[in-house]
């Protein structure tokens, strides 16, 4: 489906809507590996993913027809691989801003890429970059957001939420996709313009548990620490007993009440 209802310059101008696919990230990857060039900003969305993927080889489960599962193709060739986390920041801030502007809902960004409401996950982002030398040649931005799902499987019930659970009403999906594309584009331009301090400042402002003493699991131990910074390579900086430690994604687990 092609449409012109997106008030963007390029993100979403080419929007392909599928009823069912294994994963929109996989579908986009396959399209890119075919020889036909694909327009930057192409969006693939699906009503159902039967093999949706999350970070760290997890599965992304989403009730068919109720939620937003989509992927967007970007070419941030201007960004060094060592700075790739600015792209994560831009996408997270885009998602945050879309919900703020549409519903005045105050979401948090949980490092590195999760979208939270209070202590529960509303959505997640899976960014898959293809490098060329030290630059990012292609980026597949996969976003899954729980929108109209009323209930979750028992194992997810305590940690997942949806817009339905927040607003207590159903909403239309397409206007959310349009606003997301708009806000992601606004923030992507910040990356393109090299507004790195701006991105980091705003990312930290919206960051779940920023500067708040909280519990984490590190090396099998429960520790009390404070998030104080994020590096451009995505490492999280925590203040632990007045020492600054830098951790990667697999090295720390948030203990959530």
* 53 near ligand BTN, rule: CB under 6 A: yes
Of residues 89, 143, 163, 230, which one binds ligand BTN by CB under 6 A?
A: 143
Q: Characterize the bridge pairing of strands 43-49 and 15-21.
A: parallel
Which two structure tokens, joined as six digits, stand for 218?
Answer: 């590190």
Number of residues forming the site for ligand BTN (CB under 6 A)? 20
Task: Please enumerate in sequence order all residues whose Cβ is within 8 A of that of 238, keeping only pairs 6 or more positions apart, or say none.
Answer: 216, 225, 226, 227, 228, 244, 245, 247, 252
- Residue 78 corresponds to which tokens in the numbers above? 């201007």
The distance of closest approach from Cβ of residue 240 to ligand BTN in the complex, given in angstroms and rounded to an integer, is 25
Tell me which residues in 154-193 interact with ligand BTN (CB under 6 A): none
CA angle in degrees (0–180, nearest 5) for 73-113-55: 80
Pairing of strands 221-230, 15-21: unpaired
Nearest approach, Cβ of residue 26 and ligand BTN (Å): 7
Binding mask 91-130 for ligand BTN (x = CB under 6 A): -----------------------x---------xxx----
Alpha carbon distance 71, 64 (integer Å): 16
Q: Which residue's CB atom is positioned nearest to ligand BTN?
A: 124
Residues that bind ligand BTN (CB under 6 A): 23-25, 49, 52-55, 58, 60, 69-71, 114, 124-126, 142-144
């Amino acid at each position: 489906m092609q449409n012109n209802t997106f008030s963007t310059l390029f993100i979403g101008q080419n929007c392909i809507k599928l009823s069912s696919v294994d994963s929109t990230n996989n579908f986009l990857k396959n399209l890119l590996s075919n020889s036909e060039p694909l327009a930057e900003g192409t969006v693939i969305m699906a009503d159902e993913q039967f093999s949706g993927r999350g970070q760290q080889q997890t599965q992304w489960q989403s009730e068919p027809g109720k939620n937003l599962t989509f992927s967007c193709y970007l070419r941030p060739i201007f960004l060094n691989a060592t700075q790739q986390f600015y792209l994560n920041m831009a996408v997270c801030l885009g998602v945050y801003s879309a919900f703020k502007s549409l519903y005045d809902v105050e979401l948090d960004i949980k490092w590195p890429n999760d979208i939270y409401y209070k202590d529960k996950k509303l959505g997640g982002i899976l960014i898959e970059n293809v490098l060329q030398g030290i630059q990012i040649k292609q980026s597949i931005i996969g976003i899954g957001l729980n929108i109209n799902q009323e209930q979750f499987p028992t194992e997810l019930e305590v940690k997942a939420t949806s817009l339905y659970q927040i607003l207590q009403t159903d909403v239309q999906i397409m206007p959310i996709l349009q606003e997301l594309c708009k806000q992601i584009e606004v923030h992507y331009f910040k990356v393109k313009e090299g507004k790195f301090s701006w991105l980091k400042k705003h990312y930290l402002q919206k960051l779940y548990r920023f500067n708040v003493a909280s519990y984490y699991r590190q090396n099998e131990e429960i520790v009390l620490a404070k998030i104080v910074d994020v590096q451009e390579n995505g490492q999280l900086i925590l203040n632990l007993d007045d020492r600054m430690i830098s951790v990667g994604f697999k090295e720390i687990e948030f203990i959530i009440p």
